[in-house]
Amino acid sequence: PPVPPMHVGFDDRSGGMSPSGPVLVRRMSDLRGLYADQAAWTAALESDDVVYEVASSPVPELEGELPQSITTILPGRVGGEFHMTKGHMHTRPRGEIYLGLSGLGGLLLFDGERPQWIEMRPGSIGYIPPHWAHRSVNVGDEPYRFLAVYPGDSGHDYGWVAEHGMGHRVFHGSGGPELRPFTFP
Ligand code: F6R
Ligand code: ZN
């Protein structure tokens, strides 16, 4: 059902929203096939830490609505590759806006041919045009958190990324994040 006008607060420490809709938790074991280094991923299953959480407001994913969510990616690396989200293409051609809230991150975009990288810090606005797959990466050593706002009828296609990759992978380097050509695990 549609929702009334509302104020949505969020907790600086947890990234939780109030009022709140569903909260999604992704642990290492939920991320099979994400990282290039499969042996490092298997070793990380031992502690099976949370990699990221996505809190949502109660705004429904319906045409005309503008759902919001707050993603928190915990710091860490797997085989030198920074913690990241699964990444997806919107099922319908819909844009999206990200706003950096805390920590240091990046937005990796891929249209099937060209990879793009947008650095995200608190206050950064990252724009995702329609037809661009997107993945978020924590390139710092504290939690990276951002607000996402997207049309309610966007839909989330994870299969597209599984099939096409994301153009680049983001590794820790001595001079900061290093973008390397994408390889399938
Ligand atoms: C919504 C959106 C974000 C992501 C979230 C988790 O369209 O782009 O809210 O859904 O950052 O990433 P995924 O969905 O790729 O696991
Ligand atoms: Zn999206």
Check if 53 has its Cβ closer than 6 Å to any atom of ligand 1. Answer: no
Contact indicator for 169, 183 with CB cutoff of 8 Å:
yes
In this structure, which residue's CA is closest to atom 2 in ligand 1? 148
Reported as a pLDDT band with limits 50, 70 and 90, residue 2 is confident
Please compute, for residue 124, the number of CA atoms within 13 A of its CA located in the half-sphere on the CB side. Answer: 18
* Nearest residue to 106 via CA among 138, 130, 78, 131: 138
Between the CA of 90 and the centroid of ligand 2 the distance, in Å, is: 6
Domain residue ranges in the chain: 9-181
Task: Render pLDDT for 51-102 as a digit per residue (tens, 0 to 9).
Answer: 999 999 999 999 999 999 999 999 999 999 999 999 999 999 999 999 999 9
Atom of ligand 1 nearest to the CA of 26: 16
User: What's the CATH architecture for 9-181?
Assistant: Sandwich (2.60)
Residue 138 CA, ligand 2 centroid: distance in Å: 16
Give this prediction's pTM: 0.98
83 CB within 6 A, ligand 1: no
The Å distance, Cα 60 to ligand 1 centre, comes to 15
